[in-house]
């Protein structure tokens, strides 16, 4: 398959990844030739080749065994991030993070590797207080410039509290799921399959919704 | 097959430093202002929410001098690359919580960080204006959209409406006409868009225009299914079936942070003089958040430049 990143894009990404602190692992789950599986595999491979701190493990769904439960893999392509101690901290992508979504992908790599994103003490304390299981689905399109911000916020909350899982869902690849949640505008954020947020909202708005659960 | 729009902001804005000039907003006005301020020798930083500002909601630009027809994203990249030649620190992805002025301006961000500057440019642009009709809120993201670049993929092969008659509406309709089966512009009065854009739009065989037509209501069960439209020419109301509607009727200024701090117009736009001064000395404003009626990329950029040059004069006059 032809390379997805041209020289310029590779160099840009590499220069960012050079700032990684700890090593990370990305576990990708594919199902044969599923829609965008091949391209996602290629994108993650090309990315992992740009830093020796990224380990990529690709698994066919049929061979995934317990991982399907551990990481709650419900669709393919889907991939999760593990930190340096191989802990899953709720950061998941469903579908290819191309287009604008390359930004939430890079930011997940950097933050999982230990590059911190500063949040206020008040926000940190509100995140720490979340005690119920929270699933944040962020529906995106690859042409949406406002979407990566929402994905990053969901992932940040997940990284800071083990009760929270944050997942990007590429709306066109997962059309049925998008239809189930009546998604025809993005970013659309669905919390625990019942609460909705529209647009790239500040982290405080995510927390307000979560606190009503 | 896939594009990669990498954004890289620099978080090296130093909160211990007193800046000469901080541009609030990373759209054309803020970026150009920072470029001019930095070239004047001012210690400059940019604090914005999203790089590119409202330009991000547009697919293409064909009225920015020197570029001909260019994708909005490519134009943003050109702006950012140019600004980066000055090594101007930039923070994005955060919201400004408050702006205060004592001896200098203090800007508090949503993550608790605080920055100080002798002068400020306020260029936070606007947010999409809503039609404010029954059903609009209910069907938001269920057929009602305010971002063509974000949501056009959902309406591939479907029938859509664009509400509005200005440049942004016509540009949105052109963009949608490439992928949707049918595009109808519905506007309550006559076109305000550039004639060249209207001509381009009307060349698409799948485009229909309904002028002097007002959308009164949006209807449907779970998702938007139809609009109630008033034909103002004969005062007749009818139902117009559609899969989706894109609202492109201009913007409302993002000026909530300035209420009580400076003079705003009745419509909450920032009142500026011919040199971008606001009613508070040292605070300048540019772009779509101001009373300037012409909301254009090149005008916002030019206003940013004016504001930066005025800020340099202001600092020099104060002898600092």
Cβ under 8 Å to A: B residues 70-89: 73
Chain B interface, best mutation among A12, A185, A205, by max B CB count within 10 A: A185
pLDDT for position B320:
53
Beta-carbon neighbour count of residue B269 at 10 Å? 19
User: What's the gap in Å between the CA of A174 and the closest CA on chain B?
Assistant: 12
Looking only at the bridges linking them, the beta strands covering A88-94 and A164-170 are parallel
Q: What is the pLDDT of residue B15?
A: 83
Asked whether the CA dihedral B241, B246, B248, B254 is positive or negative, the reply is positive
> CB–CB of B223 and A171 under 8 A?
no
Return d(Cα B308, Cα B314) in angstroms, integer.
10
Contacting residues of B for A203, CB less than 8 Å apart: 110
B3 or A114, higher pLDDT:
A114
A150 with B150: CB under 8 angstroms?
A: no
**Residue A148's pLDDT is what?**
95
CB B57 within 8 A of CB B9: no
**ipTM for the assembly:** 0.90
For chain B, residues classed under CATH 3.50.50.60 are: 18-127+251-317, 130-247
Which of A118, A141, A171 shows the shortest C-beta gap to B113?
A118
Question: Which pLDDT belongs to residue B1?
Answer: 59
pLDDT at B94: 86
Residue A49, CB half-sphere, CA atoms under 13 Å: how many? 11
Which residues on chain B are in Cβ contact (under 8 Å) with A102? 4-6
- State which residue of chain B sits closest to A189, comparing Cα positions: B141
Task: Report the 10 Å Cβ neighbour count for B308.
Answer: 28
* Residue B9 pLDDT: 61
Q: Chain A residue with minimal CA distance to B113?
A: A120
Whether the pLDDT of residue A171 is over 80: the answer is yes
> If DSSP states are collapsed to H, E and C, what string results for B36-100?
HHHHCCCCEEEECCCCCHHHHHCCEEEEECCCEEEEHHHHHHHHHHHHHCCCCCEECCCCEEEEE
CB distance from B112 to chain A under 8 Å?
A: yes
SS3 B108: strand
Per residue in B67-79, pLDDT tens? Answer: 999 999 899 999 9
Do A7-92 and A121-210 agree at the fold level?
yes
CATH assignment, B18-127+251-317: 3.50.50.60
Is residue B11 scored above 60 in pLDDT? no
pLDDT tens for residues A66-83? 999 999 999 999 999 999
User: Chain B, 130-189: which have a CB under 8 Å from a chain A CB?
Assistant: 140-147, 149-155
In this structure, whether the domain defined by A121-210 belongs to CATH 3.40.30.10 is answered with: yes
| Residue B10 touches chain A, beta carbons under 8 Å | no
- Closest residue by Cα to residue A190 from A202, A174, A178: A178
Instruction: Name the fold adopted by B130-247.
Output: FAD/NAD(P)-binding domain (3.50.50)
The C-alpha angle B290, B295, B301, rounded to 5 degrees, equals 80
Q: Which residues pair with A137 in a beta bridge?
A: A167, A190
What are the sequence ranges of the domains in chain A?
Answer: 7-92, 121-210
At residue A89 the predicted structure's pLDDT band, cuts being 50, 70 and 90, is very high
Give the minimum alpha-carbon distance from A86 to chain B in angstroms, rounded to a whole number: 27
Q: What is the mean pLDDT of residues A146-162?
A: 97
Give the model's pLDDT for residue A1: 79
Tokens of B79: 């702006």
A7-92: CATH architecture: 3-Layer(aba) Sandwich (3.40)
- Inter-chain contact B149–A202, Cβ cutoff 8 Å? no
């Amino acid at each position: 398959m032809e390379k997805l990143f041209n020289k310029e894009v590779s160099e840009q990404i590499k220069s960012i990844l050079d700032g990684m602190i700890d090593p990370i692992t990305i576990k990708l789950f594919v199902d044969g030739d599923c829609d965008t599986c091949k391209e996602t595999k290629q994108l993650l491979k090309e990315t992992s080749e740009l830093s020796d701190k990224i380990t990529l493990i690709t698994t066919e769904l049929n061979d995934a065994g317990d991982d399907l439960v551990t990481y709650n893999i419900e669709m393919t392509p889907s991939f999760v991030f593990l930190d340096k101690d191989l802990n899953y901290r709720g950061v998941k992508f469903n579908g290819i993070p191309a287009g604008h979504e390359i930004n939430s992908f890079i930011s997940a790599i950097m933050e999982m590797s230990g590059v911190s994103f500063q949040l206020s003490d008040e926000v940190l304390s509100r995140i720490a207080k979340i005690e119920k299981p929270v699933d944040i689905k962020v529906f995106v399109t690859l042409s949406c410039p406002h979407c990566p911000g929402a994905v990053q916020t969901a992932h940040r909350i997940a990284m800071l509290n083990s009760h929270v899982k944050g997942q990007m869902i590429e709306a066109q690849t997962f059309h049925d799921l998008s239809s189930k949640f009546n998604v025809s505008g993005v970013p659309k954020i669905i919390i625990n399959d019942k609460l909705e947020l529209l647009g790239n909202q500040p982290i405080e708005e995510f927390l307000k919704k979560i606190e009503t659960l | 097959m896939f594009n990669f729009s990498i954004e890289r902001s620099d978080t090296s804005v130093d909160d211990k430093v007193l800046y000469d000039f901080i541009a609030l907003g990373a759209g054309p006005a803020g970026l150009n202002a920072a470029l001019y301020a930095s070239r004047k020798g001012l210690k400059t930083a940019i604090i914005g929410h999203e790089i590119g500002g409202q330009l991000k909601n547009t697919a293409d630009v064909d009225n920015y001098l020197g570029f001909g027809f260019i994708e909005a994203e490519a134009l943003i990249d050109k702006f950012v690359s140019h600004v980066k030649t000055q090594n101007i620190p930039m923070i994005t992805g955060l919201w400004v919580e408050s702006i205060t002025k004592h001896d200098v301006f203090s800007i508090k961000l949503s993550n608790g960080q605080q920055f100080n500057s002798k002068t400020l440019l306020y260029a936070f642009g606007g947010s999409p204006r809503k039609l404010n009709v029954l059903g609009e809120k209910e069907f938001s993201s269920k057929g009602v959209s305010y971002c063509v670049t974000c949501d056009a993929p959902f309406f591939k092969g479907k029938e859509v409406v664009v509400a509005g008659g200005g440049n942004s509406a016509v540009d949105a309709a052109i963009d949608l006409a490439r992928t949707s089966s049918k595009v109808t512009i519905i506007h309550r009065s006559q076109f305000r868009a550039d004639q060249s854009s209207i001509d381009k739009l009307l060349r698409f065989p799948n485009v229909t225009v309904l002028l002097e037509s007002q959308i009164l209501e949006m209807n449907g069960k779970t998702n938007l299914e139809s609009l109630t439209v008033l034909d103002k020419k004969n005062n007749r109301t009818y139902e117009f079936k559609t899969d989706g509607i894109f609202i492109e009727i201009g913007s409302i200024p993002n000026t909530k942070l300035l209420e009580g701090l400076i003079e705003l117009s009745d419509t909450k736009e920032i009142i500026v003089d011919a040199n971008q001064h606001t009613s508070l000395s040292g605070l300048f404003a540019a772009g779509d958040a101001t009373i300037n009626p012409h909301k254009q990329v090149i005008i916002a950029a030019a206003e940013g430049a004016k504001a930066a040059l005025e800020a340099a004069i202001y600092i020099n006059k104060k002898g600092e």
